[in-house]
Structure 1
Amino acid sequence: EEVEQVRKAIGADSTNFYVLGNSWGGILAMEYALKYQQHIKGLLVSNMVSSAPEYGKYADEVLAKQMKPEVLQTIRAIEAKKDFSNPKY
Protein backbone atom coordinates (compact mmCIF):
# COMPACT_ATOMS: atom_id res chain seq x y z
CA GLU A 1 0.00 0.00 0.00
CA GLU A 2 2.96 2.34 0.50
CA VAL A 3 3.72 2.40 -3.22
CA GLU A 4 0.11 3.33 -3.97
CA GLN A 5 0.29 6.15 -1.42
CA VAL A 6 3.45 7.49 -3.07
CA ARG A 7 1.90 7.21 -6.55
CA LYS A 8 -1.10 9.24 -5.43
CA ALA A 9 1.07 11.81 -3.62
CA ILE A 10 3.17 12.52 -6.71
CA GLY A 11 0.16 12.56 -9.01
CA ALA A 12 1.40 9.72 -11.22
CA ASP A 13 -0.99 7.69 -13.36
CA SER A 14 -1.12 5.14 -16.17
CA THR A 15 0.43 7.63 -18.59
CA ASN A 16 3.67 8.07 -16.65
CA PHE A 17 4.05 5.61 -13.76
CA TYR A 18 6.52 2.75 -14.10
CA VAL A 19 7.19 0.29 -11.29
CA LEU A 20 10.67 -1.21 -10.94
CA GLY A 21 11.42 -4.12 -8.64
CA ASN A 22 14.84 -5.65 -8.14
CA SER A 23 15.48 -8.99 -6.44
CA TRP A 24 12.86 -9.55 -3.72
CA GLY A 25 11.42 -6.17 -4.66
CA GLY A 26 10.51 -7.81 -7.97
CA ILE A 27 7.94 -9.99 -6.21
CA LEU A 28 6.59 -6.93 -4.39
CA ALA A 29 6.43 -4.97 -7.66
CA MET A 30 4.52 -7.80 -9.34
CA GLU A 31 2.03 -7.94 -6.46
CA TYR A 32 1.51 -4.18 -6.73
CA ALA A 33 1.10 -4.36 -10.52
CA LEU A 34 -1.50 -7.10 -10.27
CA LYS A 35 -3.53 -5.15 -7.74
CA TYR A 36 -3.17 -1.68 -9.29
CA GLN A 37 -2.56 -2.40 -12.97
CA GLN A 38 -4.96 0.34 -14.03
CA HIS A 39 -2.58 2.92 -12.49
CA ILE A 40 0.72 1.89 -14.10
CA LYS A 41 2.23 2.32 -17.54
CA GLY A 42 4.79 -0.44 -17.14
CA LEU A 43 6.48 -2.94 -14.86
CA LEU A 44 10.19 -3.76 -14.84
CA VAL A 45 11.45 -6.74 -12.85
CA SER A 46 15.16 -7.41 -12.47
CA ASN A 47 16.93 -10.40 -10.95
CA MET A 48 13.83 -12.25 -9.76
CA VAL A 49 11.74 -15.21 -10.83
CA SER A 50 8.03 -14.66 -11.36
CA SER A 51 6.73 -16.73 -8.45
CA ALA A 52 7.50 -17.08 -4.76
CA PRO A 53 7.50 -20.92 -4.93
CA GLU A 54 10.05 -20.81 -7.77
CA TYR A 55 12.17 -18.39 -5.76
CA GLY A 56 12.04 -20.77 -2.80
CA LYS A 57 13.22 -23.58 -5.05
CA TYR A 58 16.02 -21.40 -6.43
CA ALA A 59 17.05 -20.37 -2.92
CA ASP A 60 17.25 -24.00 -1.81
CA GLU A 61 18.94 -25.37 -4.92
CA VAL A 62 21.33 -22.53 -5.78
CA LEU A 63 21.72 -19.89 -3.08
CA ALA A 64 21.89 -22.27 -0.11
CA LYS A 65 24.86 -24.07 -1.66
CA GLN A 66 26.79 -20.79 -1.75
CA MET A 67 26.32 -20.01 1.95
CA LYS A 68 28.60 -20.89 4.80
CA PRO A 69 27.18 -23.98 6.55
CA GLU A 70 26.82 -22.18 9.89
CA VAL A 71 24.87 -19.34 8.26
CA LEU A 72 22.56 -21.77 6.48
CA GLN A 73 22.03 -23.68 9.73
CA THR A 74 21.01 -20.45 11.49
CA ILE A 75 18.59 -19.58 8.68
CA ARG A 76 17.01 -23.04 8.71
CA ALA A 77 16.60 -22.95 12.51
CA ILE A 78 14.89 -19.54 12.34
CA GLU A 79 12.60 -20.72 9.53
CA ALA A 80 11.68 -23.87 11.47
CA LYS A 81 10.58 -21.69 14.40
CA LYS A 82 8.86 -19.21 12.03
CA ASP A 83 10.82 -16.48 13.83
CA PHE A 84 10.98 -14.21 10.77
CA SER A 85 11.36 -11.04 12.85
CA ASN A 86 14.65 -12.35 14.23
CA PRO A 87 17.38 -9.79 13.35
CA LYS A 88 19.67 -12.62 12.25
CA TYR A 89 17.15 -13.54 9.58
Structure 2
Amino acid sequence: MRFRSSYGQNVLGHLLESAHLAGMMAAELGVDPEGGRPGARKESLELYVRRLARLEETARSHDGVAEVYAMQAGREARVTVVRESRATAVAG
Protein backbone atom coordinates (compact mmCIF):
# COMPACT_ATOMS: atom_id res chain seq x y z
CA MET A 1 0.00 0.00 0.00
CA ARG A 2 2.94 2.25 0.55
CA PHE A 3 3.52 2.87 -3.15
CA ARG A 4 -0.04 2.46 -4.31
CA SER A 5 -2.01 5.48 -5.44
CA SER A 6 -5.58 6.15 -6.35
CA TYR A 7 -6.55 9.30 -8.23
CA GLY A 8 -3.10 10.70 -7.54
CA GLN A 9 -3.26 10.20 -3.76
CA ASN A 10 -1.18 7.70 -1.80
CA VAL A 11 -3.57 5.05 -0.45
CA LEU A 12 -1.68 4.43 2.81
CA GLY A 13 -1.46 8.16 3.52
CA HIS A 14 -5.17 8.55 2.85
CA LEU A 15 -6.06 5.67 5.21
CA LEU A 16 -3.91 7.11 8.00
CA GLU A 17 -5.37 10.58 7.50
CA SER A 18 -8.94 9.21 7.51
CA ALA A 19 -8.30 7.24 10.70
CA HIS A 20 -6.80 10.30 12.39
CA LEU A 21 -9.76 12.49 11.42
CA ALA A 22 -12.27 9.85 12.57
CA GLY A 23 -10.47 9.63 15.92
CA MET A 24 -10.57 13.41 16.34
CA MET A 25 -14.31 13.52 15.55
CA ALA A 26 -15.01 10.65 17.96
CA ALA A 27 -13.05 12.45 20.70
CA GLU A 28 -15.02 15.66 20.16
CA LEU A 29 -18.31 13.79 20.28
CA GLY A 30 -17.27 11.77 23.33
CA VAL A 31 -17.61 8.46 21.48
CA ASP A 32 -15.44 5.46 22.31
CA PRO A 33 -14.29 4.17 18.91
CA GLU A 34 -13.26 0.75 20.28
CA GLY A 35 -16.76 -0.76 20.68
CA GLY A 36 -19.15 -0.18 17.79
CA ARG A 37 -22.22 -0.46 20.01
CA PRO A 38 -22.82 -0.98 23.71
CA GLY A 39 -21.97 -4.58 24.58
CA ALA A 40 -20.38 -5.30 21.22
CA ARG A 41 -17.20 -6.75 22.70
CA LYS A 42 -17.89 -7.21 26.40
CA GLU A 43 -21.23 -9.01 26.38
CA SER A 44 -21.05 -12.56 27.71
CA LEU A 45 -22.90 -15.41 26.08
CA GLU A 46 -25.28 -15.65 29.03
CA LEU A 47 -26.26 -11.95 28.79
CA TYR A 48 -26.64 -12.27 25.03
CA VAL A 49 -29.02 -15.23 25.33
CA ARG A 50 -31.03 -13.44 28.05
CA ARG A 51 -31.33 -10.31 25.91
CA LEU A 52 -32.61 -12.31 22.92
CA ALA A 53 -35.06 -14.20 25.13
CA ARG A 54 -36.44 -10.90 26.51
CA LEU A 55 -36.85 -9.62 22.95
CA GLU A 56 -38.78 -12.74 21.96
CA GLU A 57 -40.93 -12.58 25.13
CA THR A 58 -41.82 -8.96 24.43
CA ALA A 59 -42.92 -9.79 20.89
CA ARG A 60 -44.89 -12.86 22.06
CA SER A 61 -46.80 -10.76 24.61
CA HIS A 62 -48.90 -9.21 21.83
CA ASP A 63 -52.19 -10.84 20.85
CA GLY A 64 -52.15 -12.97 17.73
CA VAL A 65 -48.42 -13.70 17.70
CA ALA A 66 -47.75 -17.38 16.99
CA GLU A 67 -43.94 -17.57 16.76
CA VAL A 68 -41.01 -15.21 17.29
CA TYR A 69 -37.37 -15.66 16.34
CA ALA A 70 -34.74 -13.08 17.28
CA MET A 71 -32.05 -12.84 14.60
CA GLN A 72 -29.03 -10.77 13.65
CA ALA A 73 -27.83 -10.43 17.26
CA GLY A 74 -31.18 -8.95 18.27
CA ARG A 75 -31.35 -6.35 15.52
CA GLU A 76 -34.13 -8.23 13.75
CA ALA A 77 -37.10 -10.31 14.88
CA ARG A 78 -39.13 -12.61 12.65
CA VAL A 79 -42.72 -12.74 13.84
CA THR A 80 -45.40 -15.18 12.67
CA VAL A 81 -48.93 -13.91 13.28
CA VAL A 82 -52.11 -16.00 13.56
CA ARG A 83 -54.25 -14.85 10.65
CA GLU A 84 -57.64 -14.97 12.42
CA SER A 85 -56.47 -12.98 15.43
CA ARG A 86 -54.91 -10.30 13.27
CA ALA A 87 -58.03 -9.90 11.11
CA THR A 88 -60.17 -9.51 14.24
CA ALA A 89 -57.79 -6.97 15.74
CA VAL A 90 -57.70 -4.86 12.57
CA ALA A 91 -61.49 -5.01 12.09
CA GLY A 92 -62.24 -4.26 15.75
- What TM-score, normalized to structure 1? 0.29
- What TM-score, normalized to structure 2? 0.29
Structure 1 or 2: more helix by fraction: 1
Who wins on radius of gyration, i.e. which is larger? Answer: 2
- Which structure exhibits the higher relative contact order, with contacts defined as CA atoms closer than 8 Å and separated by 6 or more residues? 1
